[in-house]
């Protein structure tokens, strides 16, 4: 076992509206109760609802952290449609996702851009959740570890040891996202252990041991405990099940032990 503090993130993706974002936040706060004292919990609403969600969290005095799903590299200027780290910070955001598979696969973000976003996030003083994971094709071709290693090394290029305590790695096998298919605890543990060994190579044992590596891909109340019980699985990044306060609360409860 480890003394890494569990981390559970709710990635709301492009879901909710002004009203349901507020309701869901209240439900999440209620469902989690005082468990946030044992688990780092973050929610990642769509940009337009950051202030709404942040206001509810503040009003409830909640330790849940407000996160963002993406950012752009410049502080301000002529970048139509983009949002900067400074703007996010101004809205009360701490962690920012980078390299989510939907941005890699749907929007076409490559490792180099993901790395620039990771570095920008950290340079701006924010925390980063770097997402990696193989597609079904890559898995079938036996390339899972190779893909994860490439995405971790590329994503963390030029990230300094001093910045690493603000980094969480999310292993999200693309074939498990939104499909109801989950990696078996053994397969997920194996991938996490390999990712940790890449971190050891990059940053040494101490930092690798201290870095949270969380699992994402159809994590639900029914499978969370078994996944999180694995020695190298330090929590989860939850999509679908984070849109129901009670389900998300149960996953946090599983992480709280
Ligand atoms: P699901 O939990 O819906 O599979 O999504 C996982 C995910 O992509 C979290 O970032």
Residue % of the chain over a pLDDT of 90: 95
Task: Give domain limits for the chain.
Answer: 7-256
pTM of the model: 0.97
Which tens digits make up the pLDDT trace of 178-236?
898 889 999 999 999 999 999 999 999 999 999 999 999 999 999 999 999 999 999 99
Nearest residue (CA) to ligand 1, atom 7: 239
Helix (H, G, I), strand (E, B) or coil at 104: helix
For ligand 1, the distance from its centroid to the CA atom of residue 179, given in whole angstroms, is 9
Over residues 90-118, the mean pLDDT reads 98
Q: For the structural domain made of 7-256, what CATH number should be given?
A: 3.20.20.70
**Alpha carbon 158 to chain centroid, angstroms:** 20
For ligand 1, the distance from its centroid to the CA atom of residue 218, given in whole angstroms, is 6
pLDDT(116) > 80: yes
Q: How far is CA 63 from CA 32, 35, 36, 41, 164, in A?
A: 10, 10, 7, 8, 22
Over residues 98-122, the mean pLDDT reads 98
Q: Which atom of ligand 1 is nearest to the CA of 102?
A: 8
Nearest residue (CA) to ligand 1, atom 5: 239
Which tens digits make up the pLDDT trace of 57-99?
999 999 999 999 999 999 999 999 999 999 999 999 999 999 9
pLDDT of 255 reads 97
The binding-site residues of ligand 1, defined as CB within 6 angstroms of any ligand atom, are 11, 100, 172, 177-178, 216-219, 237-241
For ligand 1, the distance from its centroid to the CA atom of residue 146, given in whole angstroms, is 22
One DSSP character per residue, 6-57 reads: PEEEEE-TT---HHHHHHHHHHHHHHHGGGGGTSEEEEE--GGGHHHHHHHH
**Mean confidence (pLDDT) of the chain:** 97
**37 or 50: whose pLDDT is higher?**
50
For ligand 1, the distance from its centroid to the CA atom of residue 63, given in whole angstroms, is 22
Which tens digits make up the pLDDT trace of 26-39?
999 999 999 888 99
pLDDT of 2 reads 55
Over residues 114-140, the mean pLDDT reads 97
Residues acting as catalytic residues: 100, 172
pLDDT of 1 reads 39
pLDDT of 252 reads 98
Q: Which atom of ligand 1 is nearest to the CA of 241?
A: 2
Q: Which atom of ligand 1 is nearest to the CA of 176?
A: 4
Q: Which atom of ligand 1 is nearest to the CA of 131?
A: 10
């Amino acid at each position: 076992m480890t003394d890494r503090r569990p981390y559970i993130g709710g990635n709301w993706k492009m879901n909710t509206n002004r009203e349901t974002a507020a309701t869901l936040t209240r439900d999440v706060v209620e469902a989690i109760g005082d468990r946030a004292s044992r688990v780092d919990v973050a929610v990642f609403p769509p940009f337009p609802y950051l202030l709404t969600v942040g206001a509810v969290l503040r009003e409830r005095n909640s330790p849940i952290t407000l996160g963002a799903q993406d950012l752009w590299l410049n502080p301000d200027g002529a970048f139509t449609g983009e949002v900067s780290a400074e703007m996010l910070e101004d809205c009360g955001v701490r962690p920012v996702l980078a390299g989510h598979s939907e941005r890699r696969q749907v929007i076409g973000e490559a490792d180099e851009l993901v790395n620039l976003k990771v570095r920008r996030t950290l340079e701006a003083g924010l925390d980063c959740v770097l997402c990696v994971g193989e597609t079904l094709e890559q898995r079938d071709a036996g390339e899972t570890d190779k893909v994860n290693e490439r995405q971790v090394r590329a994503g963390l290029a030029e990230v300094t040891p001093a910045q690493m305590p603000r980094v969480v790695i999310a292993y999200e096998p693309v074939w498990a996202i939104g499909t109801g298919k989950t990696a078996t605890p053994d397969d997920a543990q194996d991938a996490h252990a390999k990712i940790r060994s890449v971190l050891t190579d990059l940053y040494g044992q101490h930092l690798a041991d201290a870095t949270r590596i969380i699992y994402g891909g159809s994590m639900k109340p029914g499978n969370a405990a078994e996944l999180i019980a694995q020695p190298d699985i330090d929590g989860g990044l939850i999509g679908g099940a984070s849109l129901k306060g009670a389900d998300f609360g149960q996953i946090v409860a599983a992480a709280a032990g």
